[in-house]
Structure 1
Amino acid sequence: MMLDKDLVAHVAGLAKLQFDDATLEKFTGQLDKIIQMEDQLSQVETTGVKPTTHIARQKSTFRADVPQKDNSRQELLANVPEQDQGLIKVPAILDQGEDD
């Protein structure tokens, strides 16, 4: 299949893109080469080839979901600038409609 400038302009219009003639001509040639390469790939014999899901051999990066000892509340609250009744106190960020 050979792409022409009108088809590329039509697709660009559908995507709300506008190009001058020189750019449209350049993109038409580039897209045509890409489609030709895809056509070549579709001719490659792949019978018996397993699908590739990752290009690098990877082991699972997920750790086992086992309980671990956490820091105590006192240890965590020792790092906060302000606390109230065992909770972290932070500045209000929502306007309550009150005049200051």
Structure 2
Amino acid sequence: MSISLEEVRHVARLARLKLTADEEARFAPQLANIIDYLGMLQELNTDNVPTTSQVTGLTNVTRADIISCAPRQDELLACSPLPKEDHQLLVPSVFS
């Protein structure tokens, strides 16, 4: 299959890629090869191949939600080495 430069430009535009003329010329045969390969895959007989979505046998391991009391504000503030003022942490300014 042959891919025109206009088709390469169209695909690049869809992918929001800015290609140089050299890249367009280089990618045209590469894109044609990829499409030819996909055509070969389309011809494969997969009638006897089971549908597969997960092959490792692993499952998500989750823990049960446990309701517990949240620490009090003063306990949390006590853990910080930063200075405190009015039950809040004083942090360095991020704006000049």
> TM-score with structure 2 length normalisation?
0.60
Paired position in structure 1 for 2:51: 50
Q: 1:13 to 1:78 in 2, by over 3 A?
A: closer
Point out where structure 2 has 5 or more consecutive residues left out of the alignment.
Answer: none
Q: 1:13 to 1:84 in 2, by over 3 A?
A: closer
Shift in Å, 1:40? 1.7
Root-mean-square deviation over aligned CA pairs: 3.4
Point out where structure 1 has 5 or more consecutive residues left out of the alignment.
Answer: 96-100
- Equivalent-residue separation in structure 1 for 2:44 and 2:36 (angstroms): 13
Shift in Å, 1:41? 1.8
- Equivalent-residue separation in structure 2 for 1:60 and 1:35 (angstroms): 36
> TM-score with structure 1 length normalisation?
0.58
AA partner of residue 20 (structure 2): F
**Residue correspondences, number:** 92
- Equivalent-residue separation in structure 1 for 2:44 and 2:65 (angstroms): 43
- Equivalent-residue separation in structure 2 for 1:28 and 1:3 (angstroms): 6
**Paired residues of 2:3 and 2:28 also in contact (CA < 8 A):** yes
Identity in percent: 22
- Structure 2 matches for 1:20-99, cutoff 5 A? 20=21, 22-47=22-47, 49-52=50-53, 54=54, 56-68=56-68, 71=71, 73-80=73-80, 81-84=82-85, 87-91=87-91
